[in-house]
Amino acid sequence: MRLNSLCVKDPKDPRTTKPHQLPIYATSSFEFESIEEGIDIFKDPEKAHIYARFSNPTVDAVGQKIAALESYGTEVTDAWGIMTSSGMSAISTLVFGLLQQGDKILTQGNLYGGTTELLKNVMTRYGIDVVLVDLRDEQAVRDAISADSTIKMVYFETPSNPALDCIDIELIATIAKETGIVSAIDNTFCTPAIQRPFLYGIDYIIHSTTKYLNGHGNGISGAIIGKTLENKKKVWSAMKLIGTNCNAWDAWLTNVGMKTLNLRMERHSANGLALSQYLSTHAKVDRVNYLGLESHPDHQTAQKQMNMYGGMMCFEVKGGIEGGLRFMNAVTIGALAPTMGDVDTLILHPASMSHLNVDKEIRLANGITDGMIRVSVGIEDIEDLIEDFDRALSAV
């Protein structure tokens, strides 16, 4: 070959032994050895790599690892994982893959705000409507399904974001199975280190892997986990055609983060409990929501399905909006950031940040008060966190 051809041509892979870490396959397409091989693969594009929007070895490996974590200790043997570009795209891919125009989704009113907007403002434009009920009320769930045969999916998150309500996973999965509808859960807050919904009969699990699975705030991706191969093709086809695929770099970062997942979740949980216990006795705090506290109304439900209580909590400072703002400005260790699940402590004031544009009556009806502070408790020394929060509360 001449000079220009040599410049363009990839060098031969000199690898003699396999790498200890999963490689990043930074390629948009994959090369066939012959036209016959290409024809064979295009007949069944799921069985081999063609184009990175369809699949990528790094992404596939990490998706399958998340599926293995979610199915660990369960009777599920065919779990599969599809990674997407974000947690939001995981939700939309699942819905578009399984539902059609005229179908409805039964869900809770206190979902993460972005999920609520997606379901009510986007999905409804394509003929997929939403029915809201308190999913902790068994009779309300049964009545809603029996009254509307177009409900085809129940979708929920537990604990809820940011109010930390806890829904009985087994109850929802049982009702869904009895009525022949699909059940799907967002397990981002807990991860499989704390809660494995397949144990209770859930059909699909969603993750914003941006959060605890990654754990370091350096990438954005999502995941859909299914427990049977029956509907995998529908979900995979939606991902491929809508273009919600994850990229190799963010998948690789998620894999690196998952190496310490269980250790991190243990520390997040220990710190979350200690900080919530401290705040529950503070004179400047009206209320603390942490599922590890016996005072939480859903504590027993959490005990049933969670083996730790995680790092997510919220509390209400005195002084309403102004009290919340003063606290936020006085914190020095906790970072003011609109995310959660990182190794460092992250705090959010929903009334002035994530729910700023939500009608106040709706916000209050879902337990998101003016003085509520959401805390993603990190893995710092707990003494430093308590001292920092104590100083910040003195400013309220």
Give me the residue label for tokens 């009525």: 179
Q: Among this protein's residues, is 51 annotated catalytic?
A: no
User: Using an 8 Å Cβ cutoff, are 197 and 185 in contact?
Assistant: yes
DSSP class per residue in 170-189:
HHHHHHHHHHT-EEEEE-TT
Q: Which two tokens stand for residue 360?
A: 């106040």
Which residue in 119, 140, 122, 144 sits closest to 130, CA to CA? 119
Strand partners, 29: 51
Strand order in the sheet with 346-348: 285-289, 312-317, 372-376, 346-348, 335-336
Using DSSP, state whether 62 is helix, strand or coil. Answer: helix
Which residue in 167, 210, 170 sits closest to 66, CA to CA? 210
Q: Which residue in 60, 103, 112, 284 is the catalytic one?
A: 112
Q: Among this protein's residues, is 43 annotated catalytic?
A: no
Q: Which residue in 51, 53, 72, 142 is the catalytic one?
A: 53
Q: Among this protein's residues, is 186 annotated catalytic?
A: yes
Q: Which two tokens stand for residue 100?
A: 């059609």
Which residue in 295, 273, 261 sits closest to 385, CA to CA? 273
User: Using an 8 Å Cβ cutoff, are 208 and 200 in contact?
Assistant: no
Q: Which residue in 186, 203, 298, 342 is the catalytic one?
A: 186
How far is it, in rounded angstroms, from Cα 23 to Cα 155? 35
Write a three-state SS string for 259-324: CCHHHHHHHHHHHHHHHHHHHCCCCCEEEEECCCCCCCCCHHHHHHHCCCCCCEEEEEECCHHHHH
Q: Among this protein's residues, is 72 annotated catalytic?
A: no
Using DSSP, state whether 146 is helix, strand or coil. Answer: helix
Q: Which residue in 65, 104, 196, 211 is the catalytic one?
A: 211
| Residues annotated catalytic, as ranges | 53, 112, 186, 211
